[in-house]
Amino acid sequence: MQELVNPKKVNLLDFDRKGLAAFFVGLGEKPFRATQLMKWIYQEDVYNFDEMSNLSKSLRAYLNENCEIATPEIVVEQIATDGTIKWAMQTHCGNRIESVFIPEDDRNTLCISSQIGCALACSFCSTAQQGFNRNLTTSEIVGQLFVAQNRVGKDHRITNVVMMGMGEPLLNFDNVVASVNLMMDDFAYGLSKRRVTISSSGVVPAIERLGDACDVSLAISLHAVRDELRDELVPINKKYPLNELMAACRENAKIAPRRFITFEYVMLDGINDTVADAKGLIKLLKTIPCKLNLIPFNPFPNSPYRCSNKETILKFKTMLNDAGIITTVRKTRGDDIDAACGQLVGQVADKSRRHLKLQNAT
Ligand code: SAH
């Protein structure tokens, strides 16, 4: 599909079902037009309003005149030896978004971005080094799934989406919520709630709001069990320290009692990988229904850290599992195309807005 660039036109991929119903009501139409339109777009792959036969002629004419269905466009595709694909997609204003397709035996996962760059300054993340540019719109977020699914074809149905690419999803709350609503909506992608995950560094007020706004799975980038160290690795911890973060997670877990919160923990040699750290993790996580995902650190140019060695990671994992916390080690995928965790960098030059954006958003 061609990207249309017309700022005067309303992009219908910017609405979830509720938003679309309100849009049609605003036009004097019935709200069920929303599901009719969604079926055409997301299930029938029909993007031409003239072919949407159950819409009235006058509505079709209105949509042709005033609306569009526009997605970002793939400009670079890299395929790794393990089948992982990284795409750079271009938005209509020339920004680049990065997404990664990760095929596995029992699932196909798409890792998507929520912002261009990132306003948080996590010291071990290469996206952070790029600074922050802007929030992605709903159509740019859901558009990554749209474009990726069309590109890999129906034989490779994307079953899981993780918002673990560039950006902090909970600092782009409304657009992220609308996007995941579309992904989980039976009239759109119909993905299972357990298979759509938002990963956050711990924006506590947004975590508190998330449960009411949508029923999506949550992953938290923990990375340290002491405030002093977490302040350094994940600086938003200075604003929302561990006790507040864990309290918000506990509340979120109550909303979806059959689901787990996933905690992510990057393994940094000599920094957060000691026996004392493992014991601290056990203490912190024991009272919360969760899984722990240990992420081997992926180095990038000028990064000040090294990945913990294999034995240390295994020992850590065994200690946690023995204490009853389900713990896995994330497989590194797409290493040869820089598609692994924390390696999505995009092209952001303007670091000056980082501070400003953080203040506004939280
Ligand atoms: N802002 C969100 C999503 C970011 S990336 C968040 O903080 O959760 C998804 C995961 O990759 C996070 O857990 C992040 O901390 C981790 N990550 C970032 N850089 C990494 C690196 N160089 N090596 C391994 N994991 C990294």
2-70: what fold? DNA polymerase; domain 1 (1.10.150)
Which amino acid is located at 144 in the chain? Q
Supply 110's token pair.
């798409």
Nearest C-alpha to atom 7 of ligand 1 is from which residue?
Answer: 201
The architecture CATH gives domain 72-359:
Alpha-Beta Barrel (3.20)
Query: Which is the closest atom of ligand 1 to the Cα of 166?
Result: 4
Cα 121 → chain centroid: 17
Domain ranges of the chain: 2-70, 72-359
- Going from the Cα of 281 to the center of ligand 1, the distance in angstroms, rounded, reads 18
Catalytic site residues? 98, 341
Mean pLDDT for the stretch of residues 229-245: 98
Cα 214 → chain centroid: 14
- For a pocket test of ligand 1, which of 112, 120, 245, 295 has the largest count of ligand atoms closer than 8 A to its C-beta? 295
What pLDDT score was predicted for residue 245? 98
pLDDT grade for 358, boundaries at 50, 70 and 90: very low
Mean pLDDT for the stretch of residues 231-258: 92
Q: Across the strands, what pairs with 221? A: 264
pLDDT digits (tens, 9 = 90+) for 75-84: 999 999 999 9
- Going from the Cα of 90 to the center of ligand 1, the distance in angstroms, rounded, reads 22
Residues in the chain: 362
Nearest C-alpha to atom 18 of ligand 1 is from which residue?
Answer: 342
**Among candidates 283, 218, 225, 285, which has minimal Cα distance to 253?**
218
Does the pLDDT at position 349 exceed 60?
A: no
Mean pLDDT for the stretch of residues 246-255: 92
- Going from the Cα of 330 to the center of ligand 1, the distance in angstroms, rounded, reads 12
Does the pLDDT at position 52 exceed 50?
A: yes
- Going from the Cα of 163 to the center of ligand 1, the distance in angstroms, rounded, reads 10
Query: Which is the closest atom of ligand 1 to the Cα of 167?
Result: 1
**Among candidates 39, 197, 173, 193, which has minimal Cα distance to 112?**
197
- For a pocket test of ligand 1, which of 114, 164, 198, 338 has the largest count of ligand atoms closer than 8 A to its C-beta? 164
What pLDDT score was predicted for residue 342? 62
pLDDT digits (tens, 9 = 90+) for 269-312: 999 999 999 999 999 999 899 999 999 999 888 888 999 999 99
pLDDT digits (tens, 9 = 90+) for 179-196: 999 999 999 999 999 999
User: What does pTM read for this prediction?
Assistant: 0.92
Query: Ligand 1 in contact with 297 (CB < 6 A)?
Result: yes
Q: How many CB atoms lie within 10 A of CB 315?
A: 15
Does the pLDDT at position 105 exceed 70?
A: yes
